[in-house]
Chain A
Amino acid sequence: MSDAPTAASVPGPISAEERDELRRHGILLTSVQELYNWGRSHSVWPLNFGLACCAIEMIAASMAKFDIARFGSEVFRPSPRQADLIIVSGTVTKKMAPHVVRLWNQMPEPKYCIAMGACAISGGPFKQGYNVLKGIDRYIPVDIYIPGCPPRPEALLHGLVELQEKIRQQPLRGPDAPRHLRSDLPCDATVPELGATDIEPPFSPDVWKPPTLVRPDKA
């Protein structure tokens, strides 16, 4: 230790550097938040749910060459009740959209959503189709967007790692706490109905707003 006053001499939370220093000496210090998030981030169980082309790459990611098990997410659950993560892998059609949103609502909190591929993000190449939903984020809050058509399995793994990082950063208290620890935020997404020409409502105002068309500086 040098003679200069350090942060450690002042009472207060210890910094990450000091914690790392202590770890090198075999002393493990952690916080409930860190431990909790560490555990959650390394056991994200995805829903066994494929929609289209991207689902094949999702399967490929869980197979030998790419081996999603390295990241603790090989346990694809067929039931939404046991899943932490929905990977929307493919084109969401309007006919399918109510089912996807219902699956999301059936998943217990804390839950996360990855929009895999151009179609799940925005409708992708099929954006101009009359039966294609222009992005699942119109109904479900999406945590990670993975572009590509389809994204490579590595891209999915990268998206998963990013999601883990996001989970690790989540504070357990305060205004930035995740949805499942706050009583003021709704957990359920609006399930659209199949109407005569389109699905109703065309988007859920809670999670999505149409793009504004005037630049803020010109408004």
Chain B
Amino acid sequence: MMLPDPAATGLARVRKIEGDALGLRTPAFAPTEGAGDLLEVSLGPHHPSTHGVFRMDVVLDGERIVRLKPVFGYLHRNHEKLGEATSYLGSMPYTDRLDYLNSMTNNWAYALAVEKLAGIPVTERAEYVRVVLAELSRLLNHTCLAGFLMQDCGCSGTPLMYAFREREKILDLFESLSGSRMMCNVQRFGGCRVDPSAEWLAATRRLVDGYGAFLDEFEALLSGNEIVMARTQGVGRLPAALAVNAGITGPMLRASGVGHDLRKVDGYGVYPRFNFRVPIGRDGDVYDRYMVRMLEMRESIAILDQALRDLPGGPILDPKAKQRGLRPKAGEAYGRIEGPKGEIGFFLVSDGTGNPTRYRVRAPSFVNLTVLEDLCLGHTVADAVIILGSIDIVLGEVDR
């Protein structure tokens, strides 16, 4: 499978200022020797800009970070152990609570892994509905991320207000479909639990049609904003080779210039039927990570357009597909999809009983944090905050 030419992916829209207009850009890191004592600061676990109960042990030389060790586990709620103690279907609602902004993609990744493990075919209509829900979830996630990132930049209020205004619109759709705003628990093995009605699809169509206008407004506010550019450009550069080696996935990897999107690479579900581009960045800095997500939302709108147009009829779930009491043959399977934060995968080992003997969640936020220290070295604490914001973590998934 081939990707479109990077030049054609809309990268030209990534605007750059070459000069340092406000004199805010971080100079190269040069540790001073013997200049004074180092200061050790613990950021978190209660810190308003760590996106939850995340902690960073930072060593500072003056304003510059010379060491940064992330500390995990403050939200380690034993997801995997509980998954091994419950049935295959019983884990589905728990996956909602992994990355609690994107229950739709978590459900899908888990359903995909079980479908691989047990060899369950998925109905055609469900494949399209899954795409619709996953792309809505991606819009929601990226919009909120942009809002939170701007909050981290010190732009308190407005962008996050706009983002949450749009989030409510998407959540209204999720709620009317599934009955719950955040913990939707929609996917089942071989299909979906609920079938969207014509009214729901029409409402989704209206939202999708209007979302581009919102993005225009949002980008007019942020993308060319001089302060945003000064704060984010050149900060937290991630080289492509390190990104691949460190297992970085999702928009963060693509911002470093690697055109790797599982929707294209694995072509799971019905994604090969849709025409969309994979935006990639050039410098791999915070701004590129922000911009790639903005461009990705435009592509999501295109996918949603096509999926809603082509949505076939038919059953949403094969009534014969076993849900309760599913006992896959002994064996194992690793299923992964392109979640909004990166590759979310489930590794399941079955011994032929009703519970998996091993239930492992490969969480993108967790692996993406591997390079946090590399990105932050030499920057100030204020930059570390926006670097963390641009990685896009959710602690429910990091600590599980």
In the complex, A touching B, CB below 8 Å? yes
Residues of A participating in the B interface, judged by any CB pair closer than 8 Å? 48-53, 55-57, 59-60, 63-65, 78, 90-91, 93, 95-96, 99, 103, 119, 125-126, 128-132, 149-150, 152
Of all chain A residues, the one with the shortest Cβ separation from B172 is A65
Of all chain A residues, the one with the shortest Cβ separation from B44 is A99
15 of the cross-chain contacts (CB-CB < 8 Å) are A50-B52, A50-B53, A52-B53, A52-B75, A56-B100, A63-B165, A64-B164, A78-B47, A93-B74, A96-B53, A99-B74, A126-B78, A149-B183, A150-B182, A150-B183
Lowest 5 A-B CB distances belong to which pairs? A129-B78, A63-B164, A53-B100, A126-B77, A78-B48
Pick the contact of B53: A51, A53, A60, A131 (CB < 8 A): A51
Q: Which of B179-196 contact A (CB under 8 A)?
A: 181-183
Of all chain A residues, the one with the shortest Cβ separation from B55 is A99
* Complex contacts, B218 vs chain A, CB 8 Å: none
Asked whether B77 lies within 8 Å of A56 as measured between CB atoms, the reply is no
* Complex contacts, A60 vs chain B, CB 8 Å: 164, 167-168
B221 CB-CB contact with A under 8 Å: no
Q: Which of B47-90 contact A (CB under 8 A)?
A: 47-48, 52-53, 73-79, 81-82, 85
* Complex contacts, B77 vs chain A, CB 8 Å: 52, 91, 93, 119, 126, 129, 131-132
Asked whether A55 lies within 8 Å of B52 as measured between CB atoms, the reply is yes
B160 CB-CB contact with A under 8 Å: yes
Q: Mark B178-214, 1 if CB is under 8 A from A, else 0.
A: 0001110000000000000000000000000000000
Q: Which of B68-126 contact A (CB under 8 A)?
A: 73-79, 81-82, 85, 93-94, 97, 100-101
**What is the distance, in angstroms, from A111's C-beta to the closest C-beta of chain B?**
16
Asked whether B160 lies within 8 Å of A128 as measured between CB atoms, the reply is no
Task: Tell me what chain A mostly uses at the interface: helix, strand, loop, or mixed.
Answer: loop
Of all chain A residues, the one with the shortest Cβ separation from B93 is A125
* Complex contacts, A129 vs chain B, CB 8 Å: 77-78, 81-82
* Complex contacts, A64 vs chain B, CB 8 Å: 161, 164-165
Asked whether B100 lies within 8 Å of A128 as measured between CB atoms, the reply is no
* Complex contacts, B74 vs chain A, CB 8 Å: 93, 95-96, 99
Pick the contact of A53: B46, B73, B97 (CB < 8 A): B97
Task: Tell me what chain B mostly uses at the interface: helix, strand, loop, or mixed.
Answer: loop
Of all chain A residues, the one with the shortest Cβ separation from B165 is A64
**What is the distance, in angstroms, from A121's C-beta to the closest C-beta of chain B?**
15
Cα–Cα, bound, A73→B75 (Å) = 26
Asked whether B182 lies within 8 Å of A57 as measured between CB atoms, the reply is yes
Given A51-B52, A60-B167, A93:B46 Cβ within 8 A: no
Cα–Cα, bound, A90→B181 (Å) = 16
B395 CB-CB contact with A under 8 Å: yes
Of all chain B residues, the one with the shortest Cβ separation from A53 is B100
B45 CB-CB contact with A under 8 Å: yes
Asked whether A52 lies within 8 Å of B182 as measured between CB atoms, the reply is no
B259 CB-CB contact with A under 8 Å: no
Asked whether A96 lies within 8 Å of B52 as measured between CB atoms, the reply is no
* Complex contacts, B85 vs chain A, CB 8 Å: 128
New A-B contacts (16) at CB < 8 Å, excluding given A52-B77, A119-B77? A49-B46, A52-B75, A52-B395, A53-B100, A56-B100, A59-B164, A63-B168, A65-B165, A78-B47, A93-B75, A93-B399, A96-B75, A99-B45, A99-B53, A126-B77, A150-B183
* Complex contacts, A48 vs chain B, CB 8 Å: 48
**What is the distance, in angstroms, from B229's C-beta to the closest C-beta of chain A?**
26
* Complex contacts, A55 vs chain B, CB 8 Å: 52
Given A93-B77, A103-B46, A125:B164 Cβ within 8 A: no
* Complex contacts, A149 vs chain B, CB 8 Å: 183
Asked whether B75 lies within 8 Å of A90 as measured between CB atoms, the reply is yes
Q: Mark B265-276, 1 if CB is under 8 A from A, else 0.
A: 000000000000
Pick the contact of B183: A53, A59, A128 (CB < 8 A): A53
**What is the distance, in angstroms, from B387's C-beta to the closest C-beta of chain A?**
20
**What is the distance, in angstroms, from A67's C-beta to the closest C-beta of chain B?**
10
Of all chain B residues, the one with the shortest Cβ separation from A78 is B48
Q: Which of A48, A57, A65, A78 has the most CB of B within 10 A?
A: A65
B250 CB-CB contact with A under 8 Å: no
Of all chain B residues, the one with the shortest Cβ separation from A152 is B181
Given A52-B100, A90-B75, A103-B46, A65:B164 Cβ within 8 A: yes
Asked whether B164 lies within 8 Å of A53 as measured between CB atoms, the reply is no
Q: Which of B14-69 contact A (CB under 8 A)?
A: 45-48, 52-53
Of all chain B residues, the one with the shortest Cβ separation from A63 is B164
Q: Which of B146-183 contact A (CB under 8 A)?
A: 160-161, 164-165, 167-168, 181-183
Asked whether A125 lies within 8 Å of B94 as measured between CB atoms, the reply is yes
B340 CB-CB contact with A under 8 Å: no
